[in-house]
Amino acid sequence: MATLPAAEIRRAVRQGLEEDLILGDATTTSIFSSPVKAHAKIIAQQPLVVAGMAAAVQTFLMIDPSLRLSVFKRDGDRAMNGEPLLHIEGDGRSILQAERVALNFLQHLSGIATLTQRFCRAVRGYPASIMDTRKTLPGWRALQKWAVSLGGGINHRQSLGDGILIKDNHLALLRRHRRPVKQACQLAHAHRSNELPVIVEVESLSEVRQALAGKPDVILLDNMPPDLVRRAVTLIKKQSLVEVSGGITLKNVRAMAAAGADRISIGALTHSAPAATISLVMTVARPSRRQRA
């Protein structure tokens, strides 16, 4: 499981609060001129993998360090429908100001972690790893990839410098060569530093043969149906790791694993995961018996 640096969480929280409170909270300040004692619970409204709790906690505390928080579910925990995730007690005005930003973190990141877990469960029994891609929101990559790891997935490249991934548009610029896939792999091996892995994307069995001649670490089979993946795996004979990508869904991911893929990379984990259904319910704190007397 990847570890997200505390500094990255604080950066994201500060950015979220600056965005939401750039002009203050016109609604809350117009209605409440003094503190209002309140309790609030954040509740899961579906089965989910919790992700974003650390960010949610930081959000409330950045707004008001005097808020008292009780965490029921931590990042990576499973929660069932109706289970409380977090309890907050203190000034209701502060809770209102932090509510949307805190829920944005929890709903979006828990959605990613939950979808990733579903894909991991779909390939259970096969050695294939579920991986993410760089199809992430600008500024949110570390958070989104962290959520993938919480759901049981593995992170692909964090940036362009983390590996050599030769894609179709790289190959398009090499079409003047008779065997562009082989040529690209050879160039990558000759110029790579720090033993970066060489991954090449192919779309046909003839390109698989070219790739094998270039000896990449990973051959990425792009948009191939399972039967063609199986034929490619037979051709590759473990000379390279086999990755499949493109059009992967919960309906076909197990067939891809059964065809022999070592890795299955899925852009939808980060760019299309549905937000988890999570709500915040607030109540006004009841006065103590001494206060009522």
Tokens of 283: 């109540």
Strands of 123-271, DSSP E: 129-131, 164-166, 198-202, 218-222, 241-245, 263-265
Residue 243 belongs to a domain:
yes
Please indicate, yes or no, whether residues 280 and 267 belong to a single structural domain of this protein: no
Query: Which is more confidently placed, 224 or 293?
Result: 224
Annotated catalytic residue, options 99, 201, 207, 262: 201
Is 231 in the active site?
no
Please indicate, yes or no, whether residues 135 and 226 belong to a single structural domain of this protein: yes
Residue 1 belongs to a domain:
no
Please indicate, yes or no, whether residues 25 and 100 belong to a single structural domain of this protein: yes
- Tens digits of per-residue pLDDT, 77-111? 999 999 999 999 999 999 999 999 999 999 999 99
Q: What is the CATH number of the domain that holds 72?
A: 3.90.1170.20
Is 100 in the active site?
yes
Is 222 in the active site?
yes
- Tens digits of per-residue pLDDT, 25-35? 999 999 999 99
Annotated catalytic residue, options 14, 37, 167, 286: 167
Please indicate, yes or no, whether residues 143 and 246 belong to a single structural domain of this protein: yes
Question: How far apart are alpha carbons 265 and 35 in whole angstroms?
Answer: 49
Annotated catalytic residue, options 100, 121, 192, 286: 100
Give the predicted TM-score (pTM) of the model.
0.93
How many domains are there within the chain?
2
Annotated catalytic residue, options 10, 118, 135, 209: 135
CA proximity to 185, closest of 239, 255, 118, 122: 239
Question: Residue 22 is part of which domain span?
Answer: 6-114+275-292
Please indicate, yes or no, whether residues 140 and 232 belong to a single structural domain of this protein: yes
| Residue 9 region by backbone torsions, left for phi larger than 0, else alpha for psi between -120 and 50, else beta | alpha
Residue 178 belongs to a domain:
yes
Average of per-residue pLDDT across 277-284: 95
